[in-house]
Amino acid sequence: MKDRALRCWAEVDGSALRHNLAVVRSRISEETKLVAVVKANAYGHGLIPVAKELVGGGADILGVSNVKEAAELRAAGVVATPILLLSACLPEEFTRAIECRALPTISTYEEAKRLDVAAQKAGVRAAAHFKIDTGMGRLGLWGAEAVKELKRAERLPAVEIEAVCTHFSSADEDPERTEEQWNELMRWRSHFADKKLHVANSAALWRKTVYACSFVRVGLALYGLPPMPFLRRLLRPVLSWKTRITLLRHLPAGRTVSYGAAYVLRKAQNLATLAVGYGDGYFRALSNRAQVLVRGSRCRVRGRVTMDQSIVDVSGVPGCKVGDEVVLLGSQGDQVIYAEELAKIAGTIGYEIVTAVGARVPRIYRNFHFLSQGEEAQRKRKAAEASRERAREARSASSEDSERSVKNRPIAARLTRQA
């Protein structure tokens, strides 16, 4: 598919992804394992291509939200890399987790028991990570209660607690609170001193090196989204988002633009209609406030963003025409629009900007080294399965023909053959 035929698309840069991976690697020791977080479609960048690139680049473990994402990775040929489930499993999902060879994150003995039952049915011993709450309040139990549940889980015959973990709530903005959470975990460390440990997310990785324990869980930084402003100079954005001008018009002063007539032209303007709207993930909250890049110039959104289209003022951009590329997120000329800029306007965070880029927006992958790895293996597996199925059908047909042949023989002939 040629880019020129696209109305609205995202470009994902493998070289930027590998650069960020190298930056993260430089912050941790060789002994520390990197959990590359690819949940939520790899933060909107594309689960399978990004996961393969990260694994090819040296990521040790992949972190996903749920068993569905784990199953997608396994089906796509990511077969050898461990997968950590970062969200709690539903009761019926433990069996699927074992089938996918994924590591559940559990917080209670009850969850461990469900995993144990599923593991015994499958005839395997299942590994899991045990979460302790130190202030996030989302998963895990607190202090002594958590330790009690952990000890009970350790006695289950088919469950192995591979690691203990917690989650910092404010590593990007509150180093004191982060240290308090760390100290709370250390209060209980003697009760699981034999277990591997992980606490650090992207922000914590740059707070203190001591937070980089047995594993680090990094998502945001890999995609070039800085958890703290000073990291902008170190990290490269991986995703850019583009659309095209579909219509150009000159409107006189006094005209209104878009739903609710919320924008009234104070003077005549040249307006461009763009093929992007909130149906693509371009938030309605950006109405009348965000800017886009047209021929290297910043142009402001006029009126309300609609489901499929938006309107911008291109009065200051001579020569623009229908079909011109427009940058919503990324660079053009010497201008750049970062996710943080859109997030500030929309009252949200950079994570949400990129993960919200919709499914109907195709991703174009550039500079990826490992995009085809696993796909060839998957093709071969499918071909082998098809070959085995054809062989089964052939054997079945042969058996049926043989049976019909016997049935169709004269009785005397059959009796003679049996004798």
Which residues form the catalytic set? 39, 259
- Token pair, residue 381, equals 């597996």
Q: Which two tokens stand for residue 291?
A: 């800017």
- Please answer whether residues 126 and 119 qualify as being in contact, where contact means their C-beta atoms are separated by less than 8 angstroms: yes
The residue type of 305 is: V
Report DSSP letters for 376-399, one per residue.
HHHHHHHHHHHHHHHHHHHHHHHH
Distance of CA 333 to the CA centre of its chain: 29
Amino acid letter, 317? V
- Residue 130 and residue 97 in contact, taking contact as beta carbons nearer than 8 Å: no
Contact between residue 42 and residue 50 where contact means Cβ atoms under 8 Å apart: yes
Nearest to 132 by CA among 121, 113, 115, 147: 147
Structure tokens at 323: 């079909």
Distances (CA, A) of 244 to 113, 249, 297, 362: 54, 15, 15, 14
Q: Give CA–CA dist 260/302, Å, rounded.
A: 12
Q: Which helix (H) or strand (E) holds 47?
A: helix 47-56
Q: Which string of DSSP letters, residue by residue, matches 287-311?
A: TTT-EEEETTEEEEB-S---SS-EE
* C-alpha to C-alpha distance for 224 and 234, rounded to whole angstroms: 9
Tell me how far apart the alpha carbons of residues 354 and 341 are, in angstroms, rounded to a whole number: 12
